[in-house]
């Protein structure tokens, strides 16, 4: 009798790139991939942040400055480097406010980074993969707010629901090329971006009441999911969303 062997979660020999990697979820994603053996490149707009993050991670992690909202710079970046096997499309922002207060500038700030930049980063990464005949894994950082609605979250929900649809279409386009595309959809994770929200006790209490496991998320809660989706252990998983929400969307 032949006993099946568990596919490897290791990423040795793989090249991985993480956007928005200077802090928070992006830095954690880069650390997880590096620990699993990948050669990781961290990119962000702020040189000091991304360099410090790469140094802290070690494992040969490399830092580059790249503004992912500059489509020309993104195209040039991927066109002049060997293809990456793993992309974590993480850069994003949020401007919580009621629908009636949203300005065109607010709309552009959130949708341009969360959707437009993510789309064209993925496109540039895929073009390099096709050029170099490299298969791999695209991982887009979505949100539980790409599966439900939320008060004061119309812009963020619009962007994260868009990511979910984009991801499914990517998966269909890319399957024949050996490239998988998935999202990770976290609940509220304590990061430098979200920490100010929790200074409001009413908001914090409301969030904790909705997370059935009774606590806020930590970046560590996402690290295993990122390695899983990047690895051969997820070889038949594409076009879907791994929801890491402590039960928020179960109701």
What is the number of other CB atoms lying within 10 angstroms of the CB of residue 220?
11
Residue 116 lies in a domain: yes
Residue 133 lies in a domain: yes
Residue 251 lies in a domain: no
Q: pLDDT over 70 for what percent of the chain?
A: 100
Residue 160 lies in a domain: yes
Residue-wise pLDDT tens digits, 182-218: 999 999 999 877 888 899 999 999 999 999 999 999 9
Bridge-based pairing of strands 136-141 and 86-89 is: parallel
Cα dist from 138 to 42, 84, 182, whole Å: 15, 10, 6
Q: 107 catalytic, yes or no?
A: no
Domain ranges, residue 142: 15-192+219-243
Q: What is the pTM of this model?
A: 0.97
Give the sign of the dihedral formed by CA 32, CA 13, CA 167, CA 92. positive
For 35, half-sphere exposure in the C-beta direction (CA atoms, 13 angstrom radius) is 14
Over its length of 251 residues, how does the chain's per-residue pLDDT go in tens digits? 999 999 999 999 999 999 999 999 999 999 999 999 999 999 999 999 999 999 999 999 999 999 999 999 999 999 999 999 999 999 999 999 999 999 999 999 999 999 999 999 999 999 999 999 999 999 999 999 999 999 999 999 999 999 999 999 999 999 999 999 999 999 999 987 788 889 999 999 999 999 999 999 999 999 999 999 999 999 999 999 999 999 999 99
Residue-wise pLDDT tens digits, 144-185: 999 999 999 999 999 999 999 999 999 999 999 999 999 999
Residue 135 lies in a domain: yes
Residue 210 lies in a domain: no
For residues 191 and 53, what is the distance between their CA atoms, to the nearest angstrom? 14
Residue 45 lies in a domain: yes
Domain CATH number, residue 61: 3.40.50.720
The number of domains in the chain is 1
């Amino acid at each position: 009798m032949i006993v099946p062997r568990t596919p490897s979660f290791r990423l040795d020999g793989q090249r991985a790139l993480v956007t928005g990697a200077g802090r928070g979820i992006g830095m954690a994603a880069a650390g997880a991939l590096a620990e699993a053996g990948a050669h990781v490149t961290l990119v962000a707009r702020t040189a000091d942040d991304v360099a410090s993050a790469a140094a802290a991670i070690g494992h040969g992690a490399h830092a580059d400055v790249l503004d992912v909202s500059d489509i020309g710079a993104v195209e040039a970046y991927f066109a002049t480097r060997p293809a990456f096997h793993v992309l974590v499309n993480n850069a994003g922002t949020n401007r919580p406010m009621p629908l009636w207060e949203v300005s065109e500038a607010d709309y552009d700030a959130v949708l341009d980074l969360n959707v437009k930049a993510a789309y064209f980063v993925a496109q540039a990464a895929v073009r390099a993969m096709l050029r170099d005949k490299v298969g791999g894994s695209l991982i887009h950082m979505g949100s539980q707010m790409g599966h439900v609605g939320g008060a004061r979250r119309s812009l963020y929900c619009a962007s994260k629901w868009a990511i979910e649809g984009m991801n499914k279409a990517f998966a269909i386009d890319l399957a024949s090329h050996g490239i998988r595309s998935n999202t990770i959809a976290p609940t509220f994770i304590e990061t430098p971006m979200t920490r100010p929200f929790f200074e409001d006790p009413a908001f914090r209490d409301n969030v904790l009441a909705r997370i059935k496991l009774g606590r806020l998320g930590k970046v560590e809660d996402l690290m295993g999911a990122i390695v899983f989706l990047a690895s051969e252990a997820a070889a038949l998983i594409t076009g879907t969303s791994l929801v890491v929400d402590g039960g928020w969307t179960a109701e």
